[in-house]
Amino acid sequence: MDALLTELRAALGKEAVLTDPDVVASYSRDMMPLAPNGKPLAVVLPTDVAGVQATVRACAEAKVPIVPRGAGSGLSGAANAIDGCVVLVMTKFDRIVEIDAGNRLAVVQPGVVNLDFRNAVEEHGLFYPPDPSSYDWCTIGGNLSTNAGGLCCVKYGVTTDSVLGLEVVLADGSVLRTGRRTVKGVAGYDLTKLFIGSEGTLGIITEATVALRPLPQAPGTLVAGFDSTEKAGEAVARVVREGLVPSLMEIMDASSIKAAESYLNTDLGAGSDCQALLLCQSDAGGEAARHELSALERICLDCGATMAYATDDVAEGKMLLQARRVVLTALEQYGVWLTDDVSVPRTRIAELIAGCERISEEVGLRIAVVGHAGDGNMHPTIVYAPDSPEEFARARKAFDAILEVGLALGGTVTGEHGVGKIKRDWLEREAGPVAMRVHRQIKQALDPGRLFNPGSMFSLD
């Protein structure tokens, strides 16, 4: 191991190879408390592709695994270290290489913060849609590796829907370039989508070419309150059936509403009997947005909303949406949180929320449900006492029970956070033996030495 560290320092510089135990420990895990983590041998921070190649080749020769990492905002343990590994941190790859406004695309390195990138392309009248809730500090590379989603997926899709091509360092140190810069292109296998969402198990992404959109109009906002989750669920289903595609459609259950109101010290206007809140936005602009919001309001009232309020005031819309964005922070008033990530058919959102209410009663812990109603991606969040191992065990039980409900409703065990090191068994259960055999064959073909993030997503044997 001393020889490996000497080689890495020679190739990347002493300052790029960290071995101080306290510093190394700070890079050993992401934001998911359930996921295990080990003690890395070292943390490496390359600044160019040659540094990544040198690290990959040296680690392959020494048979030391590599765990790629971005900002550490993940919620699946996908970036968690294993004992004796090298954590390859990509945050110093932080250049926006190119913004081509004429072709509405950009070339960006993985260490660029999502919000910084969005702000940069906005100066050109353009828009990069993926917007994870941690968009003010998560990095593009992490978004790519987990195929991150966000609040505007209902209209614009997840990360992969905005990616044209990648540059990837493979397990032998060679550089693979996938995809294209053109709007259309079907030459060969779609290797770009293979690497997106692979959680660093197939290669190290060092650059991405992404598609941009024209900057949307300032959004109008609608908030609607319901005295039952069933009525809110029916409103969501009606929106889908009638062909409306708002730029955002979020749902909050009673527990998350109360937490947000307490944290913000405000009244959302939904009333004390409100059991579910829908927040919708339209970025169509002008009369088109007013028409869309009016149609959304009509549907909500037809489905039994006890209140519905629309505004085209941007500041007021941000204030209303803030209640949704602060839910996780608001829940810290009651303990520490453990957020789950399941997607169900949009017609079954109310059933999932009801299932979470039942699980909450069974385990005796608060569970608040918020989610992206427009695409069925829900985030039930379990709150427990940080100093109670017994409550943590009940939280873990609730976490798995929620996944059980999601699958039973025809859903999937992860909509945007990824599998990581906490849902490996659940992936096996959802995908089935044939799909898992194919996963392992792909892994074996691209990473025969099991160099990249071994044990993440699925077991190798």
Token pair belonging to 368:
């608040």
pLDDT of residue 451: 97
Query: How much is the pLDDT for 425?
Result: 94
Q: What is the pLDDT of residue 134?
A: 86
**DSSP strand pairing (248-253 vs 276-282):** antiparallel
Predicted confidence at residue 63, as pLDDT, reads 97
Give the pLDDT of residue 272: 73
Nearest to 69 by CA among 83, 88, 56: 88
What angle (nearest 5°) sits at the alpha carbon of residue 271, between those of residues 269 and 273?
155
Positive or negative CA dihedral for 24, 113, 414, 367?
A: positive
DSSP labels, 372-412 = ETTTTEEEEEEEE-TT-HHHHHHHHHHHHHHHHHHHHTT-B
Continuous H helices in 218-281: 229-241, 254-264
Handedness of CA 263, 267, 271, 277 (dihedral sign): negative
Task: Give the pLDDT score at 150.
Answer: 86
pLDDT of residue 427: 96
> What's the CA gap between 298 and 308, in Å, rounded?
9
Q: What is the pLDDT of residue 186?
A: 92
Quote the pLDDT of residue 335.
Answer: 95
* Residues with pLDDT less than 50, the chain: none
Q: What is the separation of C-alpha 197 from the centre of its chain, rounded to a whole number of angstroms?
A: 10
6 Cβ contact partners less than 8 Å away, ≥ 6 residues apart: none
Q: How many CA atoms lie within 13 A of 240 on its CB side?
A: 17
- The pLDDT value recorded for residue 148 is 94
pTM, two decimal places? 0.93
- List, for residues 171-219, the tens digit of each pLDDT value: 999 999 999 999 999 999 999 999 999 999 999 999 999 999 999 999 9
**What pLDDT is attached to residue 273?**
85
